[in-house]
Every structure is written in C-alpha cells, then in structure tokens.
Structure 1
Amino acid sequence: MPPIDDDWSDSDEEDVSEVETSVLLGTPDGTITAAGDLGDAAVSRIGGHPAFLPANEPPFSSSRCVICSKPMELLVQMWCPFENSPMDRALYVWGCAVPECQAKERSVRAWRGLRYNDAYAAKLEKKMAKQKEKAIIPEKSKPKANPFSAMGTLNQTPFGLGAQIFGDAAPAASSAGVEAEDDGAESDTTSSDEELLTALASTTLEESPWRSAPSYPPLYLSTCSEYLPAQPKLKLPPGVQVVDPLDDPGKGDKDVSWISEAYENSLDVDQVFERFTKRVAYEGDQCVRYELEGTPLPYASDSVLDSLFPLPPTPPVPVTKAVFTVMPPTKRTYDPSSIPPCPVCKSKRVFECQLMPNLINVLRRDADGKDKRLTDEERRTLVEQELKRGKSRGMEWGTCLIFSCSRDCSLTDDGKEARDSWREETVLIQWGV
C-alpha cells in the first residue's frame, strides 16, 4: 500500500491500515484431485464437472449455449446457502467459448440448485425457537451473516468449507448459517454438523450425459475478504463535517465508499475501465466478486451501465442571460429496477456476484494442460486492446453480473412448494466494446 501523507489525515496517529469492504473475493486455490470433493456439492470450484444438489439430475440442456446450442463448460460452482434457510443451495455458471457467440446474450448462463435439508431444517427450527423464547437479539439489530459460511460467522469458512478443504481438521459445519449456542446447551454441535455434511447426497455423473460434457480442469475456489487502502481524510476547520448521502448505514463498519460512489455522466469507456482495474488491482487473482444484495462493479460504459446506473433527469437550463447558475455534474447511481423479477414467485432479483476477467486466464490452458495465465500487466494490456479494437477471440467478456431471486424460491411451475428446484437466473454481460 503506498504511503499516505500525514497532511491528509485528521490525526498524525490515525490508523491508515487497509479497510475491509463488504465484498468476498473468490480465488483459485489448487487442483481438485480427491474424488469425494469432485462429487461434493458443498465444495466450490472453478471448472470441472458440476456436483448437483437436486434429487433429480437437471436436464443437460441447461448447459447449452442459446446461440450455438453446443454444450458449454462449467465456469464456476459456488456453495452459497442463504442465511437461516433450510435449503442447501449452490450456484452454477456455464460459459460458451465459441468466437461467434461472443457479445451475444445468454452465451453465459447461471442456474441455482436447491434441496431441502430435513435434518438441518429441524435443527434450525429448534434454534430459532430458542432464540425467540430467550429474545436474545431483536430481529432488526441482528448482524448480517456471511452467506458462504456454514456456521454463519462473518468471513469465516466462506463458500461452505473454506480453508478446511486443505486443512487437517474435519469440517464442522452444516449447510445453512446459524451460530452455535454460546451457553454450551448444544455441546454436540460439532459431531452433529459433521454428520449433516457427510449426509449431503451428491448426484453422481455416471451413466449421464454430464459425464462426457466438455470441461476445464477443476480447481478449488476459496475466498477472502476484500481490503482497500484507507482513504485519507482532509483536515477541516472545527465544526465542519462532510456528509456522504450515499453511505449505507446498513453496512455496519464495512467501508462502502468505493461501492456506493456515484458515476459521473462524463465517464467514458476508458475512465470506467480504469476505475474497474484500479479496484481489482488490490487483489489481482480474484475470479469472483460476491456481495449478495450489494452493488456490482461496472466494467465499461455500455448499455449495461446505462440500465444499472441510469442518468437522473436533468434540471432545465436557464434561458435568461442575467441569471448565472452553476449546474452540478450529473451523477449516476445504482438502480436495479430494470432487472426482470423471478418468473416463478415474482419477487425482485438482487445482485449476487460477478465473474472477473482473471477467471478466463485461469481457465485458459493449452492442449498439454500447461497454464497460460497472464501477468497483471499483460492482462491489462490485452483487455485495453480489446476495449479499443472491439475484437473478441474465444471467451473474452469483461465481467458477468449475476442476479438471483431475492426470495430464493423453491416452487414448481404451478406455484407449489417443492423440496428441490433448478432455476435459471439473470446474467448481464459487459463485453467492453
């Protein structure tokens, strides 16, 4: 982190260390070789074949490109159950690398798989009943837990198993986020949670068209919190305050200044891209950015930016020369109202995560399986060239934004509750052209 001039600080002794944001970053973390992990839906991955949650194997057509009808490769699979939900949940994203399909809608497709967990549902019901009886924490003041954490502890064991995938300790977590009782009333939490994880049935791919589907080498997908350098503060006269109306008090102590920053109308492609690369540069290995109900990080100035960050109506310009008015710059702010609602339950869709350009570099390998990853500078140069020339070869999107049903419904087509479900979600792609 570059040094910060003391003149920009309110105090010479102020802590200018990095600040944690509300974003989780998914990064590659080694090749998956264990058969048990390959078939476990609770193990998040890059590439490989999917491990399905629904009892009935999803139709193979789910992985077909809508443009060329060819089966696509799995890009990522993420274990991400919603907080306090009895449903096991995984998100699957496929992408087409056929050059003719680039810059076209639905060449990247995302699906969520749900499965009702009876054992955990009973435990969750018991847990919630105890909390209600004791009135430990008012509902409105409960901190938001990490959706990836099986035990609900913020930023611990993200994507279900987290660091325990590689550690010696056995995973001690169930599928949904609920913290263990502090009073020790549930001393068997560890053993029971191990049993629940072990009981997660993973659909095998034997005798299935998924078995012969094209795929990239499977890699573990682990996560870490995003940290950014603390922003310097100007010295202000006594009694003067600078208030940012875009700050979201619901984020707690997290730094959301980067996320909530408004976009000026004057931004062009290069400026938006520069802001994107500057933010990403703090963790160049990131392949996924996850922030359920958060704000996406735009990649380029295009129709997707216009739909998610629309321009507000501008006030009329004064026509009289005698009046001199200073017109403030027009700002863009995040507005996801253009995202279509869930076609089943009609609930709104919310931003869940986005795939990053480095994912393409991680997946790109030659015929011998040799890694062809680019350095940060090579990747930056390549993407800048693509932005300026408007050319795409293979899978060369800038970012893929995924929006999921806010209710995470598990309904049949006629609206009845189902024990498991398989539903496609909305993907917006920024190609950078």
Structure 2
Amino acid sequence: MDPYDSDSSGLEDEDFTDTGVLLGYASEEVIDDTISHLGGLPTWLDASTPPPGDFANCKVCNRPMHLLLELHGDLPEHFPDDERRLYIFGCCRKTCNRKQGSIRALRATRKIKVEQPEKSKTEETEKKEEEKKPEAPKQDLGASLFGAGSLTGSVSGNANPFSSSSGSSSAQPNPFATPATPASSPSQQKSTSKQPEPQTVSTLTESFADKVRISSTPKIPPPEAAGPPTPWPPQSAFPKPYPHLYLDAEYETLSRPSTPTIPENVTFEPVEVDNAAGSSSAAASADLKDAFESELDKAFQRFSSRLSQNPEQVLRYEFGGSPLLYTYTDEVGKKLHDPKNPDAKVNILPSGGSRIASCEYCGSERVFELQLVPHAISVLEEGREGVGLGPKDDPGMEWGTIILGVCGRDCAPTQIGVVGWREEWVGVQWEEIK
C-alpha cells in the first residue's frame, strides 16, 4: 500500500493501524463473489450432496432454522488441496431464544487433488544414486506442475483468503471474490518397472465433477459413511428466509485507541443515603460502585469502541486469529478470557480444559475463523415484518456476537471430489438484558 500523500493534512499524525482482520460489509448489489452472503438460501459445494438433514434443525425445538451466513471459505495458503464453505444457521423462535443449540455452524470441505505421501529416506537415497548414473534417463517430473502459485500483494501477513489474482490492477480486488477454478493436471503416477501408459489430458470444457472422479480408499471411514443420513428438508419446511445480502470486504484500520480505561484518579466517595431499613452508607456506596463498574465493563467497552470505528461491519474474519469478546462474564467469555492475563490475545485453542473442545471428528485443535457482530442483525431484520414465524413466535435475534471455531486441520474425506460435512463449534454471547 502506498504511503499517504503529503497533502492529506493530519493523516500522518493519526495512529492508523492495520489489524489483519478482514471486515465484511452487507451489500444488496451483486459483487464479484456470488457465494458469500448473509441470509437468503444456502448453496452447496455439490448440489447432489447436501448436508445430512439433522444439521438443519435447531437442537432445542428440532425444527429447521434460518440461514444467517454462507461464506466462501477457500484458504489456499493453509489448505491448497481443499475447497471449503462455511454456514451458520439460527433459530429465532421465542421458545429457543438464548438456549444452547439454537445456533449451529457447518463446514463443507472437498478435496481437489491427492496429497502425495512423503518418500522415505531409503527411497530418496536410491533415487539419488540412480540419478548419478550417466546411463540412467532423466525422469520427466510431470507432478511438478501441480499446485497454485503463492499469493502476492497481500495487505498483511495473513493473506486475504478469498481474493482472486488481480494482476497489476490498481484497484483493490473484492477480498471475498471466488478464486478461478484450477486448471486440470495429469494424475501423478507411481514409478514401476513397467512403462506407464500415456494418459489423456482433460479438456477445458470438461466439467469439474468429471475431473475429480478418481478416488482413493480412505484409511479411516468418515463419519458420513456410518449410515444413511437423514435427507435435507425441502425448502417449504424452513421459515421464510432473511433477505439475501452479498458480502464486500476490506481490512480493518484503526485510527485511535480502541480500549478505553477507567482513569487512575477516579475514586468512589461514600454516599450518605437515608434508608428506612437502617442499612449503612458504606453498603449503598458499594452498590453504587458495582453499578458504575458494571456500566464500564471492560469487555463490552472494548467491543463497542472497536466496532464503532467501522460501524457498518457485519463480519470479522481472521483464520487462526483472535475473537473480539462481547463480555468476559458469560460461559463463552469465561472459556476464552484469562483473568490472570487480561491483556493477552484471546486464543480458543484448548488449554488445560478451560478452552473449547477439540474437533470431534479427528481430535485436532480448533482455531478461530470468524464472528458475526450485531450490525448483521440490523441489516437482516430491517423491514422484517412478515419475516419468519411472526412477531409472537419470532421476536428476533438477541445475540451480541457469534464466534466460529473450526478444525485447525480442515479434516474431510480423503477421496477426491467427495464433500465432507462437519459441525463446528459456535460460541454465542447473548445480548445483555437491561
């Protein structure tokens, strides 16, 4: 990014900081990425492979839920062999409000090429010895054509996972844009004593589904193979969807300190209060102090101050980063906040059983990926009369933030082209009742 121009008065005096967090903004206009969106209806990686129907239902009332978010989640820097998509569903029925299981998250992952096993030292030694022999023909390493080039031009060290290559264009590309479909490559073959038969290279007109039919037997059967899944419910079984809003994005920039603190010189003077019950003024003063400290809750003040710098944001994204907590005092806050080290960066990796659970499918540690923030409620419920189940049964969403933690290994079926569905961890911090 070019430095600020010298005629931008006062800008260089401001303390601007790029945080590495990608902010999502709702847009009614169609943008580059037609996959990522708030509300609307879900689309699947493979239309013939929807998720198991049990994932559609609220765990409280066992009825289908609204789609809150669908995000195009490809991460070429972390998982170059995977296509990913993320979904968050929510139940807004009054009887389910503020209850665990009323908001659920899914991850869909599909392998687009086979991961080659590492060669043993013996194999590498034998290969080097063969290469030293002058009579040995040189091997044509067609497999070296696999893989995508490294991302360039990223704004920060945590490269934008959604942008497509923008060349030398001066305009900032939409960070949620869908990457181009990778070109087909010949399948890598194991060397044998027989001359390998030539393979036909797939044409550009061949569909992606046709290219990925080569599959390998997984070492461990995925959970999906345990039995026939319940079919995904028809759309008529779902409540009326929220409006479909596309997602535009840019990296977060802060221009001033985002964490207000209570001045050191603030003191709480005893207040004399006439009380018929005869309670002491010291007790009344303590109540006053508690009320004052409650209003200056550090977590909420930090949360609201940080969001106020970019008030239109609906989504915060930072794979492997740190969520912004709405409060430290609820179940989620107690899990993720360390009171002994309050200034430390929030981390949702397991630590002594005080953090969130590891992935139930493969046992790997989970990492933070994204969170929804309150402005998402505003844009989804704007003009919501007649949306969902009606004002009596559907009072609207009342959460402060929804935090998504995903498997850090992106576990999925090992077969090429097979979509794997995983339910991921969601931490919901509900709006405080006043």
Whole-angstrom distance in 2 between the partners of 1:53 and 1:13: 44
Whole-angstrom distance in 2 between the partners of 1:294 and 1:196: 39
Partner of 2:246: 220
Task: Answer whether contact 2:111 2:416 (CA < 8 A) is retained.
Answer: no
| Structure 2 runs not aligned, ≥5 long | 1-9, 117-141, 184-203, 211-230, 259-291, 388-393
From the CA coordinates, give the structure whose radius of gyration is larger: 2
Partner of 1:342: 359
Task: Answer whether contact 1:150 1:175 (CA < 8 A) is retained.
Answer: no
Alpha-carbon distance change, 309 to 367 in structure 1, aligned in 2, over 3 angstroms: closer
Letter in 2 for 1:276: F
* Secondary structure of the structure 1 residue equivalent to 2:101: coil
Task: Answer whether contact 2:51 2:232 (CA < 8 A) is retained.
Answer: no
Please list, as runs of the form range in 1=range in 2, the aligned pairs for 1:268-279 lying within 5 A after superposition: 268=294, 270-271=296-297, 272-279=299-306
Whole-angstrom distance in 2 between the partners of 1:222 and 1:130: 25
Task: Answer whether contact 2:316 2:371 (CA < 8 A) is retained.
Answer: yes
Task: Answer whether contact 2:19 2:254 (CA < 8 A) is retained.
Answer: yes
Higher relative contact order (CA 8 A, sep 6+): 2
Residue 217 of structure 1: CA displacement?
A: 1.6
2:19 pairs with 1:27: no
CA offsets 1:56-112 (integer angstroms, 9 cap, x no match):
221232121100111111001000112242221110110111122122112111101
The TM-score, its normalising length taken from structure 1, stands at 0.59
Task: Answer whether contact 2:88 2:104 (CA < 8 A) is retained.
Answer: yes
- Of 122, 135, 159, which aligns to 1:145? 159
Whole-angstrom distance in 2 between the partners of 1:285 and 1:173: 29
Partner of 1:104: 99
Letter in 2 for 1:95: G
Task: Answer whether contact 2:110 2:416 (CA < 8 A) is retained.
Answer: no
Residue 417 of structure 1: CA displacement?
A: 8.3
Partner of 1:80: 73
Whole-angstrom distance in 2 between the partners of 1:77 and 1:64: 16
2:398 pairs with 1:396: yes
RMSD, matched Cα: 4.2
Partner of 2:59: 66
Please list, as runs of the form range in 1=range in 2, the aligned pairs for 1:309-388 lying within 5 A after superposition: 309-312=337-340, 333-336=345-348, 337=350, 338-366=355-383
Alpha-carbon distance change, 332 to 112 in structure 1, aligned in 2, over 3 angstroms: same
Task: Answer whether contact 1:287 1:357 (CA < 8 A) is retained.
Answer: yes
What is the number of equivalent residue pairs in this alignment? Answer: 301
* Secondary structure of the structure 1 residue equivalent to 2:309: helix
Residue 295 of structure 1: CA displacement?
A: 0.6
CA offsets 1:341-388 (integer angstroms, 9 cap, x no match):
111121100000001111111111446679xxxxxxxxxxxxxxxxxx
Identical positions, percent: 34
* Secondary structure of the structure 2 residue equivalent to 1:359: helix
Alpha-carbon distance change, 333 to 209 in structure 1, aligned in 2, over 3 angstroms: closer
Task: Answer whether contact 2:20 2:158 (CA < 8 A) is retained.
Answer: no
Partner of 1:408: 410
Partner of 2:255: 229
| Structure 1 runs not aligned, ≥5 long | 1-11, 162-171, 177-194, 202-206, 233-265, 314-329, 371-391
Task: Answer whether contact 1:310 1:335 (CA < 8 A) is retained.
Answer: no
